[in-house]
A and B are shown apart, each in its own frame.
Chain A
Amino acid sequence: EVQLVESGGGLVQPGASLKLSCVASGFTFSDYWMSWVRQTPGKTMEWIGDIKYDGSYTNYAPSLTNRFTISRDNAKSTLYLQMSNVRSEDTATYYCGRYYGYNYWYFDFWGPGTMVTVSS
């Protein structure tokens, strides 16, 4: 059974950094491109970016390129999202998602999400 489980969320002060993790199981993690998506408290869904199966290539939403970094450790079947200089508008639930396959850029599995609240 495919499972994705995010962790690392919580309350963080503006300007701080935070690293989220997503542990995958039930499939060969190193075969899949992976992605992060966030959902604001108002329920808006925003694609953050993605990473190639071997970690050699990343894509980001233009508005987030300079502050967010996606990485992965295939030996640990874990996806990461490094967030820096966080702002109040980064308050959201963060989901990791698995793409169905290369060139099929939709999500066939999602984790339950981890909530990040940016507030002083």
Chain B
Amino acid sequence: ETTVTQSPASLSMAVGEKVSISCKTSTDIDDDMNWYQQKSGEAPKLLISEGNTLRPGVPSRFSSSGYGTDFVFTINNVVLGDEGIYYCQQSENVPLTFGSGTKLEIK
């Protein structure tokens, strides 16, 4: 099983700041990493899919990078509406596995 280690567990940022979230995998997954946003009381929403591909309709403030075992998710110029929990998910190996989540608070 591919373990996904996500950090940090929580962040408190001011509007306009830059957010960086890390996910490290226990096996090489090429670029098969995906990123989701979950707002309070809602289902997760896919933001970025394999190959660091921004999904249609997702603002370009969101981006990701990485290959192999180290991945980074970035939000530039964070806004109030970005509050929520962010998850990474590897799609290279079964069972599919998720990171533990990063709770983002906007001050």
A→B interface (CB under 8 Å) = 35, 43-47, 59, 61-62, 95, 100, 104-108, 110-113
**Mostly helix, strand, loop or mixed at chain A's interface?**
strand
**Mostly helix, strand, loop or mixed at chain B's interface?**
loop
- Count the A-B residue pairs with Cβ separation under 8 angstroms: how many? 52
Given contacts A44-B100, A47-B97, A107-B44, 6 further A-B contacts (CB under 8 A): A45-B44, A59-B95, A104-B50, A105-B32, A107-B46, A113-B43
Q: Which residue of B lies closest to A47 (CB)?
A: B96
Distance in angstroms between the alpha carbons of A43 and B98 in the assembled complex? 11
Task: Give every chain A residue within 8 A of B100 (Cβ-Cβ).
Answer: 44
Of B43, B85, B96, which contacts A105 at CB under 8 A? Answer: B96
Decide yes or no: A62 and B101 within 8 Å by CB, A106-B50, A107-B46, A113-B43 being known contacts: no
Distance in angstroms between the alpha carbons of A43 and B38 in the assembled complex? 10
B→A interface (CB under 8 Å) = 1, 32, 34, 36, 42-46, 49-50, 55, 85, 87, 89, 91, 94-98, 100-101, 103
Distance in angstroms between the alpha carbons of A43 and B45 in the assembled complex? 15
Q: Are B89 and A106 in contact (CB under 8 A)?
A: yes
Distance in angstroms between the alpha carbons of A42 and B91 in the assembled complex? 23
Decide yes or no: A43 and B95 within 8 Å by CB, A62-B1, A104-B49, A106-B34 being known contacts: no
Q: Which residue of B lies closest to A44 (CB)?
A: B100
Distance in angstroms between the alpha carbons of A113 and B38 in the assembled complex? 12
Q: Which residue of B lies closest to A107 (CB)?
A: B46
Task: Give every chain B residue within 8 A of A113 (Cβ-Cβ).
Answer: 43
Q: Are A62 and B44 in contact (CB under 8 A)?
A: no
Distance in angstroms between the alpha carbons of A45 and B103 in the assembled complex? 14
Q: How far is the CB of A86 from chain B (nearest CB, A)?
A: 20
Q: Are B49 and A59 in contact (CB under 8 A)?
A: no
Q: Are B1 and A105 in contact (CB under 8 A)?
A: no
Task: Give every chain B residue within 8 A of A46 (Cβ-Cβ).
Answer: 98
Of A35, A44, A100, A111, which contacts B43 at CB under 8 A? Answer: A111
